[in-house]
Structure 1
Amino acid sequence: MKKVLYITTVSRTINAFLVPHIEMLLDEGYEVDVATCIDKPINDKLIKRNIKIFNIPFARNPLHRGNLKAFKELIKIQKKEQYDIIHVHTPVASVFGRLLKLRYPKLKTIYTAHGYHFLKGGPKIGWLAYYPIEKVMARFTDVTITINQEDYDITVNKLKPKKTYLMNGVGLDLSHYKILPKEDNLKKRQELGLEEDDFVIIMIAELNENKNQIQLIKAMELLKDRYPNIKALLVGEGHKLSELQQEVSQRGLQNQIQFLGFRSDINELINASNIGVLLSYREGLPRNLMELMACEKQVVVTDIRGCRDIVCDDTVGKIVKVGDYLQTASCLEFYYLNQNNKTWDECLVDKYSIKNILEDLMAVY
């Protein structure tokens, strides 16, 4: 029986993306445990499978002294448990997890890169700070799994671990995202104070600098006088909430933009909307776009890796430059004026399904 240790910086990564992966390995006869800093209780599905959970004091800052203590804990765990494979995710955990190879050279290491902190056209600081680390750590990596074409090319051509795979993300359970009846959508709109003839844009993203909600806010300001029934729902929490609320107030958009915070009714909110947007500076392979596609909603996204992989043609959506709120407003106007001309290929989202991703992951193992 092969023993596997999943290592992430924080437990919310396990809960958000990796539970089906671990369940599959358990079903296939692997023994799987988890090492992570527990910021959220581990999903009950894994607790019921009686896996071992090691609470490791990772800090998100890679230079934080607490990470040295975390590394020492990992060494103790590996010495006792003798895992055959470690599978690391997220930047800090991926570094210290792979460094176990210094002590245990026979240990096999799998690294899923959810989106490097350096990218083509990105800030130089990302290349200066993170690229050298990834270049060194590739020496301690048996397999790197990438989730977008740009990261795959960089990994193969520049980082050069032993093996590299390109997978279509971490998997989306398509059964959770269904097209709902019009009556349900109208009820949700009423709940949100929206009218039946409102044109609703939804943005599902943490409220932080990278997700760039301000680009949507500026675009909405350009449209508000001509099209007052274009509305936007911003779903997510984050430290920029008060700043963004102030921007909305100063631009007189209180009637156009709602901040909904954390929501558990994402499928219903998507169905009640007309289109989605994601205007980030950096992404890996954004799952929120897959969620929108699963409900046959077109999107407006920024011209960055990950978004380019998903928005492969005009049937999926339109691509705008980062920071270009004029172009963004133009695309939103286009969809508002062409609401009845949507075409959709139902097969587009299938490659992101959790079923297909698990098959690919099992092949890697």
Structure 2
Amino acid sequence: MRVLQLAAKMLSLERFALPLMDRLRTAGFSVEAMGQFDGTEARVADAHFPVHNWQAGHSFHPLHILRARRELRQFLAGNRYDIVHSHCSFGGIIGNSIAARCVRHLVYTQHGFFVHDGLSPVLRAPWLAIEKMGLRPADHVICVSRAEQELARSLGVGPPGKFMHVNGAGIDIARFSLPDNQRLERRRLLRHELRLADDELVLLTVSRLTWDKGYREMIEAVRDLAARGHEFVLLAAGSGKDEAAIRASIEAAGISDRLRLLGWRDDVADLYCAADVFVFASHREGLPISPIEAMASGLPVVLSALPGCREEIEDSVNGLLFATGDARELAQQLARLISDAGLRSRLGENAHARAAIFDRERVLDAQMELYRSIAERT
């Protein structure tokens, strides 16, 4: 069977779909990828998958949407696929109604709704209407958290059985769960590279440098903790469109020595080894990946209390939660961990054990079962 993995940007496929694509190919499916080229298409092509450019991007301008839909319609008319598997809201909202008319089976993985707890009631209804545009045409919807599965089922866009749940995109547990000797050696080497003392308390966040990842709250919390005399440094790994503004805010707050932007890194597994605490302050997520990676690495985590994050940890058992957007509570939770090595150790051990349920192989097994059921009916 011929399968097209579709997303508005190729980055989404490189980040979320490559392991599934590889498993499908091993099982005998012919797999291709389509999304707007953004530099990551080379990594998909290097994995020996055909790649196709789709000028979809992340814009809801009406003319842009019309062009993207026309381009997709023409492409699918000239290329016969048995299954289109779309990913993320932009790709699904723009492309699913076109794909549903061109292929026999449409699978849609919703990696995180635009609708979130902090969205104002005025905006919630129109955004739900937009989300339905992606959900309704799909034959099967894969939801990356229980909360999103419940929301999707409540929207009246298909029978309950249409919406299946998997634990996010899954992670390669073995990559992050290292023997102590390897972890300590990586910790030593990276701390030396970053000029961090062996006994320095290091906090870490891994996310895009955009305001909706909670950088305002993290800046305020770091300033508060530093003013209260806590000794630590927060490292932020990632890049994004708001990097210049975030850097300027850090400098204006006078905490450049406490909150260091590392830029995009391809050694995040080593960063987890070098850190003592992981923090994630995002405002909107499906089931975020970096907290799971940190948990698999044995780090205690402090997460915003989004529905997906609440599925990753149980507060005070294998991590700490704080109210989304609340810088004061974030600072309080971080202060608990900075001040209590025993708490860090206990939560880190429990987080490591919890991470096993998010193993990529389990997630892929569930998705492959769906593909096999489709193949049997075709």
Q: TM-score range by the shorter chain?
A: over 0.9
Instruction: After TM superposition, give the deviation of residue 42 of structure 1 in Å.
Output: 2.2
Residue 171 of structure 2 corresponds to 172
- Alpha-carbon separation, structure 2, partners of 1:19 and 1:138: 22
> Residue 33 of structure 1: SS of its match in structure 2?
strand
Contact conserved, 2:93 with 2:133, CA < 8 A, in 1? no
1:362 aligns with 2:342: no
Contact conserved, 2:73 with 2:99, CA < 8 A, in 1? no
1:115 aligns with 2:112: yes
Residue 285 of structure 1 corresponds to 287
Residue 201 of structure 1 corresponds to 203
> Residue 211 of structure 2: SS of its match in structure 1?
coil
Residue type of the partner of 1:295?
Answer: S
Residue 182 of structure 1 corresponds to 184
- Alpha-carbon separation, structure 2, partners of 1:48 and 1:254: 39
CA RMSD between the two structures: 2.0
Contact conserved, 2:214 with 2:283, CA < 8 A, in 1? yes
Contact conserved, 2:45 with 2:51, CA < 8 A, in 1? no
Contact conserved, 1:8 with 1:93, CA < 8 A, in 2? yes
Q: 1:256 to 1:81 in 2, by over 3 A?
A: same
Residue type of the partner of 1:8?
Answer: A
- Alpha-carbon separation, structure 2, partners of 1:47 and 1:235: 25
Residue of 143, 147, 150 corresponding to 1:153:
150
- Alpha-carbon separation, structure 1, partners of 2:65 and 2:90: 8
Residue 73 of structure 2 corresponds to 75
> Residue 303 of structure 2: SS of its match in structure 1?
strand
Residue 358 of structure 2 corresponds to 352
- Identity, in percent, stands at 23
Q: Give ranges in structure 1 of 5+ residues lacking alignment.
A: none
- Alpha-carbon separation, structure 2, partners of 1:277 and 1:95: 31
Instruction: After TM superposition, give the deviation of residue 215 of structure 1 in Å.
Output: 0.9
Structure 1, residues 86-123: CA drift from partner, whole Å, max 9, x if none? 1001222212332125644x621111001110124423
- Alpha-carbon separation, structure 2, partners of 1:159 and 1:63: 27
Residue 265 of structure 1 corresponds to 267
Contact conserved, 1:36 with 1:54, CA < 8 A, in 2? yes
Residue 85 of structure 2 corresponds to 87
Structure 1, residues 115-165: CA drift from partner, whole Å, max 9, x if none? 110124423354233211222443311111111122111111224334001
| Higher mean C-alpha displacement, 198-207 vs 125-134 | 125-134
Contact conserved, 1:59 with 1:67, CA < 8 A, in 2? no
Number of equivalent positions: 362
- Report 1:172-251 matches (<5 A): 172-179=171-178, 180-251=182-253
Instruction: After TM superposition, give the deviation of residue 227 of structure 1 in Å.
Output: 3.4
> Residue 306 of structure 1: SS of its match in structure 2?
helix
- Alpha-carbon separation, structure 2, partners of 1:151 and 1:78: 29
- Alpha-carbon separation, structure 2, partners of 1:17 and 1:23: 12
Contact conserved, 2:230 with 2:338, CA < 8 A, in 1? no
TM-score of the two chains, using structure 1 as the length reference: 0.92
Instruction: After TM superposition, give the deviation of residue 306 of structure 1 in Å.
Output: 1.2
> Residue 239 of structure 2: SS of its match in structure 1?
coil
Q: 1:156 to 1:196 in 2, by over 3 A?
A: same
- Alpha-carbon separation, structure 1, partners of 2:18 and 2:133: 29
Q: 1:44 to 1:327 in 2, by over 3 A?
A: closer
- Alpha-carbon separation, structure 2, partners of 1:297 and 1:183: 16
The structure with the greater share of residues assigned to helix is 2
Q: 1:172 to 1:325 in 2, by over 3 A?
A: same
- Alpha-carbon separation, structure 2, partners of 1:213 and 1:244: 7
Instruction: After TM superposition, give the deviation of residue 78 of structure 1 in Å.
Output: 2.3
Contact conserved, 1:281 with 1:322, CA < 8 A, in 2? yes
- Report 1:23-102 matches (<5 A): 23-44=22-43, 46-47=45-46, 49=48, 51-100=49-98
Instruction: After TM superposition, give the deviation of residue 226 of structure 1 in Å.
Output: 3.9
Q: Give ranges in structure 2 of 5+ residues lacking alignment.
A: 372-378
Residue 376 of structure 2 corresponds to none
Instruction: After TM superposition, give the deviation of residue 183 of structure 1 in Å.
Output: 4.0
| Higher mean C-alpha displacement, 31-40 vs 109-118 | 31-40
Contact conserved, 1:15 with 1:43, CA < 8 A, in 2? no
Residue 135 of structure 1 corresponds to 132
1:318 aligns with 2:324: no
| Higher mean C-alpha displacement, 260-269 vs 87-96 | 87-96
Q: 1:41 to 1:244 in 2, by over 3 A?
A: closer
